[in-house]
Amino acid sequence: MKKIFGNIRIADYTYDLPPERIAKYPLPERDRSKLLLWDGHNISDHIFSEFPALADRNNLLVFNNTRVIRARLIFRKESGATIEIFCLEPHSPADFSMNLASGGPVEWKCLVGNLKRWKSGILESRFIHEGREYILSAERTGTAGDAFTVRFWWNESTLTFAEVLECLGHMPIPPYLNRDDEESDASTYQTTYARINGSVAAPTAGLHFTPALLGALDEAGIERAEVTLHVSAGTFRPVKSELISDHLMHSEHFFVSKQTLLRLRGRLTTAVGTTTVRTLESLYWLGLSLSEGRWPEQGIPYVSQWEPYEREGVIEPEVAIDNLLAALEKSGRDTLEARTDIIIVPGYRFRIVDRLLTNFHQPRSTLLLLVAAFTGESWRDLYNHALASGYRFLSYGDSMLLSPGMWLDGKQ
């Protein structure tokens, strides 16, 4: 199965994106962005503030509540060399909340810019917190795949690492914006409902929602639920191989509460963003693992990149969710914690997600492959329409609501 789906050529999933169509900044009002609606046959143009009227009241609307951390740290050596350390995910403690709440020291898996100028030794950077000056120190301790492990410590144990990052770090805005981060990005590159620290990239489909619009959804009787997937820098990793089978998919950590699992059971769902799709679809394969007795005795459960294409999905989605609920009950936990490397490519059959709200993605990206898996060849019509109609692209750009079931439901 992997061989069949892995033979997909990434060159078949590209389009011409003029640089001027990439939105370098968001609109002043989040919900004034454009919204393309596709019902499986027809395309129509809207403003995002109309979303409550376009959302399906029979669907559970699922958000990713992760919060972007200031993951980029800049150190300057006495020689004048600048070293950038990009914190990817915690290494010790490996738990996100424990690591970020620690008074130090902590270790992270990191990317290092200008590595040749930091072969060894300790880097230091001064920062101000509530009027007092402190020092953050960093030292390389090893390697972790194509990244490095870096140990951080600071001279005030009452400060958490999260507070240190807030004081000293820079927002990890996407590299294709081709600009330095600005103070405004601290709020605009963050969803209004972000709660759980851990992402190094925003779940950008959610950037269009305002508190007032969320209130309008509640008034319209549209149920909402949340998951947490900490978005990794791998979301921007280009596909450099000719065949998708040769691309190594990034791994991401996610959490789903018992309450959300109960709401998902037997429900149609609208996923807000591709990160929510990854989480929800991974739930199915985790539930199938339980049916097959493949649940790990130690460590957290995990969905591998090609697992959906190498196994037969022989159970109903409700059974998968019930299996996960039973596993939580047995363990005495209220939240499922897992990792996923899942790659969703054309030919994938969606088990949990019925509708998708998403931004417009880069050419030759795994995110574009996911959209093509959801829409079939219609993705080309959607992108051509957006390009011809003045839509803004990528993280700070406009969005589309993909609702193939609307046509079958008789909705216009």
Long-range CB pairs of 182-188 (<8 Å, 24+ gap) are: 184/25, 186/70, 188/25, 188/26, 188/396
Q: What is the pLDDT of residues 193-208, one digit of tens each?
A: 999 999 999 999 999 9
| Closest residue by Cα to residue 238 from 401, 85, 68, 13 | 13
pLDDT at 3 exceeding the cut of 70 = no
Q: How far apart are CA 32 and CA 336, in angstroms?
A: 36
What is the rounded average pLDDT for all residues in the chain?
Answer: 94
Report, as an integer, the average pLDDT of 131-156: 94
| Closest residue by Cα to residue 64 from 195, 226, 192, 211 | 226
Helix (H) or strand (E) holding 2: helix 2-6
Q: What is the pLDDT of residues 387-396, one digit of tens each?
A: 999 999 999 9
Q: What is the pLDDT of residues 295-327, one digit of tens each?
A: 887 889 999 999 999 988 889 999 999 999 999
Specify whether domain 2-68+188-408 bears CATH 3.40.50.300. Answer: no
Q: Where in the chain is the domain with CATH 3.40.1780.10?
A: 2-68+188-408
Instruction: Tokens 């079939």: give the residue.
Output: 376
CA angle in degrees (0–180, nearest 5) for 275-63-45: 85
What percent of the chain is helix, strand and coil (3-state, nearest 5)?
35, 30, 40
Confidence of residue 411 (pLDDT cuts 50, 70, 90): very low
pLDDT at 409 exceeding the cut of 80 = no
Q: What is the pLDDT of residues 11-41, one digit of tens each?
A: 999 999 999 999 999 999 999 999 999 999 9
